Amino acid sequence: MNKRFFAISIIFISIIAASCSSQKASTASSGNKGLKDYYKDFFPIGVAVAPRHLAGDEAQLILQQFNSLTPENAMKMGPIHPQEDRYNWRDADSIVDFAQRHGLKVRGHNLCWHSQAPRWMFIDKEGKTVSKEVLLQRLKDHITTVVNRYKGKLYAWDVVNEAISDRNDEYLRNSEWLKICGEEYIARAFQYAHEADPNAVLFYNDYNEISPVKREKIYRLVKSLKDAGVPIHGVGLQGHWAVNEPSRGQLDSTIKRFADLGLKVQVTELDISVYPKEHDARERKSADADTTFTPQKEQQQLEVYKMSFGLFRKYKNVVSGVTFWNIADRYSWLDNFPVRNRKDYPLLFDRNLKPKKAYWEVVKF
Ligand code: GLA
């Protein structure tokens, strides 16, 4: 055997060996069931991501556990459309490409919201507030362009996010959208999205849906849209909950109430904070110093997760998706809300991406 042939054979053998061992590794990991497998007869299990999560150990965890993605920020109006004549597709594209490569579903989030909207949307070149006609035309251009770009690659959109007021004496949030266009902007947003992609499942999405007062306002809005023939297909319950809420009764009646609308219900932004629920950002207090994930917090959180998933399964004919807001306790928006820099542990995986006790309760049924 000459030297060259020997060298080539060694390279060839090592390539075969490497490919066998990587095949073994991937078979081993696909043998580990993930949330998506436990729930395959119920609904897709999604997760909100940023492009930085799509490599390394977080990407592996995503592929093992989830079968749907939501861009955490990349498709919001401000990030994706920072100037009237400029779209920033990079981050949203990278998430959609990753999903396409790996056969994951994608929920678009979101097309019209009072927050993270670019300033230019509402003003003209002189800085004066635009008319209703101009704003609706801008909204139409935005929705048409974004929905068209991802047509056939996204199965659903949160069309309007958080239009309901948190004040007990007020129905709709007094946003720029409402001030300039009146209530009509909501129906228009759904029409524009439906025209751009008639196959996309269109959602109204909001938080604190478990509060009886806010729930009825969301119900009223969605029902009025449906009754007017607006193309709306589902209600997104964000599900930013906590160790002290919702109770079983509260969550059961919430899902039931929205099921009565005859639309699909999705839990779109699930996390369960280990601190009692607070709805508004506030200053740090001395009592916030202890951020240990104690066995007591772990137990309380596990019970809320167990109860919630039990109800999602009970309503499996209505619940068509459950999406977690972030992957693991390594990073959550709740680390900075309602208190800046207060570590929270709201998800099913710990900082090392290992399943927590709550995970095993969610998959035990
Ligand atoms: C709301 C929005 C989300 C996200 C969270 C905080 O729930 O719908 O897009 O901004 O707030 O992360």
Please give the positions annotated as active site: 162, 269
Tokens of 205: 């999405």
pLDDT of amino acid 228? 98
E strand residue ranges, the chain: 45-49, 68-71, 105-113, 156-161, 201-206, 234-237, 240-242, 264-273, 319-324
63 Cβ partners below 8 Å, 6+ apart? 102
Q: Residue 64 C-alpha to ligand 1 middle, in angstroms?
A: 25
Residues 36/69, Cβ–Cβ less than 8 Å: no
What residue has token string 């999705």? 266
Closest CA to 269 of 337, 318, 208: 208
Exposure pattern of 337-363 as b/e (b: 16+ CB <10 Å)?
A: bbbeebbbbbbbbbeebebbebbebbe
Distance CA 133, CA 154 (A): 29
Burial class (CB in 10 A: 0-12, 13-18, 19+), 111: buried
For the chain, 365 residues long, give each residue's pLDDT as a single digit of tens. Answer: 444 444 444 444 444 444 433 333 333 334 589 999 999 999 999 999 999 999 999 999 999 999 999 999 999 999 999 999 999 999 999 999 999 999 999 999 999 999 999 999 999 999 999 999 999 999 999 999 999 999 999 999 999 999 999 999 999 999 999 999 999 999 999 999 999 999 999 999 999 999 999 999 999 999 999 999 999 999 999 999 999 999 999 999 999 999 999 999 999 999 999 999 999 999 999 999 999 999 999 999 999 999 999 999 999 999 999 999 999 999 999 999 999 999 999 999 999 999 999 999 999 99
Q: Is 81 exposed, middle or buried (0-12, 13-18, 19+ CB in 10 A)?
A: buried
- Compute the distance from residue 240 Cα to the ligand 1 centre, in Å: 9
Q: How many CB atoms lie within 10 A of CB 302?
A: 20
Mutate to test the pocket of ligand 1, among 113, 237, 269, 273 (most ligand atoms within 8 A of CB): 269
- Ligand 1, residues 73, 208, 266, 325: which to mutate, most atoms within 8 A of Cβ? 325
Nearest atom (ligand 1) to Cα of 161: 8
Residue 206 Cα, ligand 1 centroid: separation in angstroms? 9
- Name residue, tokens 């009237």: 84
Q: What are phi and psi of 58, to 5 degrees?
A: -70, -40
Q: Whose CA is nearest to atom 4 of ligand 1?
A: 72
Distance 160 CA to ligand 1 centre (A): 12
Ligand 1, atom nearest to 73 Cα: 9
Which residue's alpha carbon is nearest to atom 8 within ligand 1?
A: 161
Give the number of the atom of ligand 1 that is nearest the alpha carbon of residue 116. 10
Compute the distance between CA of residue 321 and CA of residue 315 in angstroms, rounded to an integer: 11
For residue 1, report the distance from its CA to the centre of ligand 1, in Å: 66
What are the pocket residues of ligand 1 if the criterion is a CB atom closer than 6 Å to any ligand atom? 109, 161, 207, 238, 269, 333
Phi and psi, residue 280, nearest 5° = -120, 145
Domains of the chain: residue spans and CATH: 35-275+286-363 (3.20.20.80)
Q: Distance from the CA of 77 to the center of ligand 1, in angstroms?
A: 13
Nearest-atom index, ligand 1, CA of 269: 7
Atom of ligand 1 nearest to the CA of 205: 8
